[in-house]
Amino acid sequence: MFDVTKIRADFPILSRKVNGQDLVYFDNAATSQTPLQVIDVITDYYCRLNANIHRGVHKLSQEATDAYEGARKTIQTHFNAAHSHEIILTAGTTESINLIASGYSSLLQNGDELLVSALEHHSNIVPWQMLCERTGAKLKVIPMTQEGTLDMSAYESLLNSKTRLVFVNHVSNALGTVNPIEEIITKAHAVDAKVLIDGAQACPHIKPDVQELDVDYYVTSAHKICGPTGVGMLYGKETLLNKLPPYQGGGEMISTVTFEKTTYADLPHKFEAGTPNIAGGIAFGAALDYMNNIGFETIASYEEELLAYATNKLREIPGLKIFGEAAKKTAVISFNIDGIHPYDIGSILDQLGIAVRTGHHCAQPIMDYYQIPGTVRASFAFYNTKEEIDRLDAGIRKAIEMLQ
């Protein structure tokens, strides 16, 4: 079945040393590591295919176009979108959200309401604040609870006929909470509001079905799913994407251009101005293939095992408090130690070769809610092991000894 030693051999970086120690990489929620199967695709692209896409008559351009459009199909199949032109390839989650927020500038009116959740990453807050400044729409916040979940009854009372858009992450990057997006979507649709789901933190662990969810927009980044940085996607329902104006103007996104009038290309090209990250897009497809070969159920059940193991161990450490204790969470542990700044713990762990994240994790409102400056976050992937968690446990204990 699942052989983690064999999996780890796919990731060259996992065998490097940091500060003289074997690397323990527990910053997967910030970016995941890249397997050879994906690195090889990038190398192969530059060794064999490198050419601009969609425009050349020559062989290289055709092969590069086929590979890029093939990746779009792979992404479509993975998310079960009805059409491949509903998959817009972007620079990542941040750009995907900005694309939608920018498009709604001309679709909103003063007095319209937008709902954001208290659990969001800054990239799912700031573009909407900017949109509100442009349009006079109002941003309202779905509050969170002490366990790090969303207050769903407050959500229901915030929804009304003025609500135009709801944006929530599928999984919180700071706490690991899996949000009840099915319910969020159904309730929003009941008042005719559209929903954007930020899937950046969910996609490494969960395989979403956009048609079954009936979600309006779903966005993610490749670099958290074993793919390269600087590439990601926006899924949108065809009818909605057709109503949105283009995001950027330039080559590729036009049908005809004269100085009097320009007409735009059809989906998906309308939203893909300029030369894209071609190798990145192809590698995004390869990363999904790699993950699907292992299987998302296998990944999820192994990671659950890691999470339970780590939670039980870390809970035994005196003075350690875990933030985010939702019943449904991914393999993320956000914690603090009484009287010690998260940064100091992180620095000592780094000395021991253990990579964790410290700080507000681009989710300052969550830290404000708990009235803390930040947390230490250990986030696990399917290539991590229990032995590595033992090293984290020992490392935290050592840090406490040194700092107290």
Ligand X SMILES: *Cc1c(COP(=O)(O)O)cnc(C)c1O
The binding site for ligand X (CB under 6 A) comprises: 92-94, 121, 123-124, 169, 173, 198, 200-201, 221, 223-224, 232
Distance of alpha carbon 277 from alpha carbon 44, whole angstroms: 15
Minimum CB–partner distance for residue 296 and ligand X (Å)? 18
Nearer to ligand X by Cβ, of 227 and 285: the residue is: 227
Judge contact between 315 and 322, C-beta under 8 A. yes
Nearer to ligand X by Cβ, of 91 and 278: the residue is: 91
Residue type, 124: N
Minimum CB–partner distance for residue 219 and ligand X (Å)? 8
Minimum CB–partner distance for residue 224 and ligand X (Å)? 6
Distance of alpha carbon 381 from alpha carbon 36, whole angstroms: 16
Q: Is 193 helix (H, G, I), strand (E, B) or coil?
A: coil
Nearer to ligand X by Cβ, of 56 and 230: the residue is: 230
Tokens coding 178: 């899996």
Longest dimension (CA), the chain: 72
Minimum CB–partner distance for residue 232 and ligand X (Å)? 6
Judge contact between 24 and 391, C-beta under 8 A. yes
Nearer to ligand X by Cβ, of 25 and 49: the residue is: 25
Active-site residue identified among 132, 203, 226, 362 = 362
Helix, strand, coil share of the chain (percent; to 5)? 45, 20, 35
Residue 294: alpha-carbon gap to chain centroid: 20
The residues with which 15 forms a beta bridge, in sequence order, are none
Residue type, 29: A
The residues with which 329 forms a beta bridge, in sequence order, are 177
Instruction: Kindly give, in sequence order, each residue whose CB lies less than 8 Å from that of residue 13, ignoring residues fewer than 6 positions away.
Output: 23, 25, 33, 34
Q: Is 47 an active-site residue?
A: no
Nearer to ligand X by Cβ, of 30 and 403: the residue is: 30
Minimum CB–partner distance for residue 15 and ligand X (Å)? 26
* Residues annotated as part of the active site: 362
